[in-house]
Amino acid sequence: MRRLITTTLLVSLYFIFSPFVHSEYKVKLSEDQEISFGGYIKVDSRYVDGDVAYRPFWIGTGQVLDESKSQFNMNVAETRLNTKYKHGEVTGFVEIDFLGGGGNEIVSNSHQPRLRHAFIKYKDILAGQTWSTFMNTSAIAETADFAGATVGLVFIRQAQIRYSHGNFKFAIENPESWGGDTSSDVLPDIIGRYDFKGDWGGISVSTLVRQLNTSLEEKETSVAGSVAGRINVGEKNDIKFQFHKGELGRYVGVAFAPDLIGNEVESTTSTLVAYRHFWNDSLRSTILFGKAVSDLSDLDRSQWSVNIFDNLTDKLTYGFELGQFRVDDKDADSNYAQFSLTYKL
């Protein structure tokens, strides 16, 4: 028995530290226990030119410059690693990437690891940190820019407890009164979602209800809705779309607008549409447009892009993308070009 445990441990350690781990590779520990490994290595080369300052990927806000500026940079920070553990009906999943900052470009170009996901799943219950139930990941377009047009996305990971039954999901998730008094957050965010699925694709309809706490110790109820999905066009092409409206705050646009402006709840409308076309079995292009506007703060941001991707092998993909990010409320914009090389582990 001791020899079996030792052998299993050595095999597991080999695959944990081996550079040739593939996502579909599984280490079977017993009849109902296994460990699998995944992730990817991504190399990005990015050029930005305009009066919105360089960023490694666009988010819902941007620094407007006094005059136009150009910058080129290469990095591997989006690289991520994950491990999944299964023991009967219990699954545990942990994932990190290297967008946590740190390091420098003088000597080492080090990047600190950052926790993305850490959750437990047992039957119909999920508990831990992962994508919000309000977010439809199947409606995210394929882009070189990380996530692409984040101004139009619900894009948030946080701790939660989720119950799934068929196409219905219900969750309580971590509250945060961004712009208000977070120390008075005592009620979780509540999310209900229903997924429609078929050969034609899939669409989710979601509702978000929250209690926000202002700096004056007043409590405000906020409500928002979302419709998002992917529609298949022919055998391989697809249209991905998202429409979100209401008191969305931190849930949409990646830091686009806070939940509260002063002591009033902010209202946001965001949209995204992307069409992906396959030119042959592996060569494909996506054209997309995303936009978000807010009510109280009068923010207006948008992004468009067009790209082309191809597979060198079934694990190695390269892509080239051109696009523009606009801070429309300040009449500023920057164009960007990005080349990416991704090796799926």
CATH (domain of 64) = 2.40.160.10
Structural domain contains residue 329: yes
Name residue, tokens 């990437």: 97
Instruction: Give the pLDDT band (50/70/90) at residue 24.
Output: low
Extract the tokens encoding 326: 């606009």
Structural domain contains residue 13: no
Rounded to 5°, angle at Cα 46 from 40 and 48: 150
pLDDT value for 307:
98
Q: Does residue 15 have a pLDDT over 60?
A: no
Q: Over range 220-227, report the average pLDDT.
A: 97
Structural domain contains residue 6: no
Structural domain contains residue 73: yes
Considering 72-76, 101-105, 214-218, the range whose residues carry the highest mean pLDDT is: 72-76
Name residue, tokens 């039957």: 123
Q: Does residue 1 have a pLDDT over 70?
A: no
Extract the tokens encoding 194: 């229903």
What is the tens place of the pLDDT at every residue in 284-313?
A: 999 999 999 999 999 999 999 999 999 999
Rounded to 5°, angle at Cα 45 from 40 and 46: 120
Q: Does residue 167 have a pLDDT over 80?
A: yes
pLDDT value for 313:
96
Is there a contact between 80 and 97 (Cβ–Cβ < 8 Å)? yes
Element (H, E) at 184: none
Q: Does residue 123 have a pLDDT over 80?
A: yes
Instruction: Provide the terminal-to-terminal Cα distance of the chain, rounded to the nearest Å.
Output: 32
Q: Over range 115-125, report the average pLDDT.
A: 97
For residue 141, the 8-state DSSP code is P
Is there a contact between 136 and 147 (Cβ–Cβ < 8 Å)? no
Structural domain contains residue 205: yes
Structural domain contains residue 323: yes
pLDDT value for 26:
82
pLDDT value for 132:
98
Q: Is the dihedral of CA 29, 30, 33, 39 positive or negative?
A: positive
What is the tens place of the pLDDT at every residue in 133-160?
A: 999 999 999 999 998 889 999 999 999 9
* Residue ranges making up the domain that contains 79: 20-344
pTM, entire model: 0.89
Is there a contact between 145 and 58 (Cβ–Cβ < 8 Å)? yes
Is there a contact between 95 and 114 (Cβ–Cβ < 8 Å)? no
Q: Over range 261-271, report the average pLDDT.
A: 96
Asked which of 87-91, 97-101, 119-123, 336-340 is least confident by mean pLDDT, the reply is 97-101
Is there a contact between 48 and 65 (Cβ–Cβ < 8 Å)? no
- Burial class of residue 304, CB neighbours in 10 A (0-12, 13-18, 19+): middle
pLDDT value for 102:
83
Extract the tokens encoding 250: 């931190």
The b-or-e profile of 308-342 (16+ CB within 10 A means b, else e) is bbbeeeeeebebbbebebbbeeeebbbebebebbb
Which are the contacts of 257, defined by CB distance < 8 A and separation ≥ 6? 60, 249, 266, 268, 292, 294, 297, 299
Q: Over range 177-181, report the average pLDDT.
A: 96
| Number of independent structural domains in the chain | 1
- Burial class of residue 235, CB neighbours in 10 A (0-12, 13-18, 19+): exposed
Q: Residues in the chain, how many?
A: 345
Q: Does residue 49 have a pLDDT over 80?
A: yes
Q: Is the dihedral of CA 100, 103, 106, 108 positive or negative?
A: negative
pLDDT value for 253:
95
Q: Is the dihedral of CA 135, 141, 144, 149 positive or negative?
A: negative
- What amino acid occupies position 335? N
Structural domain contains residue 11: no
Q: Does residue 319 have a pLDDT over 80?
A: yes
Gyration radius of the chain's alpha carbons? 21
CB-CB neighbours of 125 under 10 Å: 11
pLDDT value for 297:
95
Structural domain contains residue 171: yes
